[in-house]
Structure 1
Amino acid sequence: MDVYDSAVAATAVTSRTVPQQIAHWARIGRELELSPRVNHRAISRVLAGTGSYDDLGEQEQAIAREAWGDRVAVLRGGLNYEAGFAAAGESYSEADEDGNLVVHPARD
């Protein structure tokens, strides 16, 4: 998935437009590379699963959490449970915007 496609997916769960999302990621990258207080290699190892989050400083942890949040937003944007349940012939329930239960019966 390229940056534009990732940004499109992220906008489904954020309040940013595609250009705003790309600019947001660019700001994070710029700050990461320019900061003498941030060890970008350590952050990269944590994001790759080969380093320990607990070994990062506070600012580095914040950057890692932001990156994880962006990854989760992209993944969530690609989910389509409704189609999966429909394809499986299963019913499902969810809460509406007011917190009320909405049951979607299986379609035959």
Structure 2
Amino acid sequence: MSRASQPTRLPADVYEAALAASRVTSRTLPQQIAHWARIGREVELSPTVNHRKIARVLEGADAYDSLDDTEQAIVRQQWEERMDEVRRSLDFAADFAAAGESYSELDDDGNVVTVESTR
């Protein structure tokens, strides 16, 4: 197998986003992923993007407003990815059940439904 065709695992959200983008841009899925990878590489190599400043903002050690527009866009993308990851990991129903607590939620029609603990 040549390096050009080496398989790579992608997170499902990246795959789905690339698939959607490929339909709009008339690229194949591999072409879209390669296109995004090249853009990412260029951003990381860019002399105008200060990756140390970005890292400091992401660590909470520096202010978001200290970044330029491109750096802010990179930080917002990182924040969005982190929030998506946290949301995917949440399972409140299981947490409430494990704690023996009931909870309320809206059904598909907007009615309040109380889910009682089965513990």
Could you state the TM-score of these two structures normalised by the residue count of structure 1?
0.68
Structure 1 position 31, deviation (Å): 4.4
Structure 1 position 47, deviation (Å): 0.9
- Size of the aligned set, in residue pairs, is 97
Which residue in 2 is equivalent to 1:82? 93
Matched, 1:49 2:60: yes
Q: State how 1:61-72 maps to structure 2 within 5 Å.
A: 61-72=72-83
Structure 1 position 49, deviation (Å): 1.8
Flag the structure with more relative contact order, 1 or 2, with Cα contacts below 8 A and sequence separation at least 6.
Answer: 1
> What is the CA–CA distance in structure 2 between the aligned matches of 1:55 and 1:45, rounded to whole Å?
10
Matched, 1:40 2:46: no
Q: Deviations over 1:36-94 (max 9, x none)?
A: 33222211111122221110012211110110010011111111111110011111122
Amino acid in the other structure paired with 2:92: Y
User: Aligned pair in 2 of structure 1 residues 26, 67: CA closer, same or farther (>3 Å)?
Assistant: farther
Matched, 1:17 2:15: yes
Amino acid in the other structure paired with 1:60: E
> What is the CA–CA distance in structure 2 between the aligned matches of 1:18 and 1:68, rounded to whole Å?
19
Could you state the TM-score of these two structures normalised by the residue count of structure 2?
0.62
- Greater Rg, structure 1 or structure 2? 2
Structure 2, unmatched stretches of 5+, are 1-8, 19-32
Identity within the alignment, %: 51
Tell whether the 8 Å contact from 1:32 to 1:40 is kept in structure 2 after alignment.
Answer: no
Structure 1 position 97, deviation (Å): 4.9
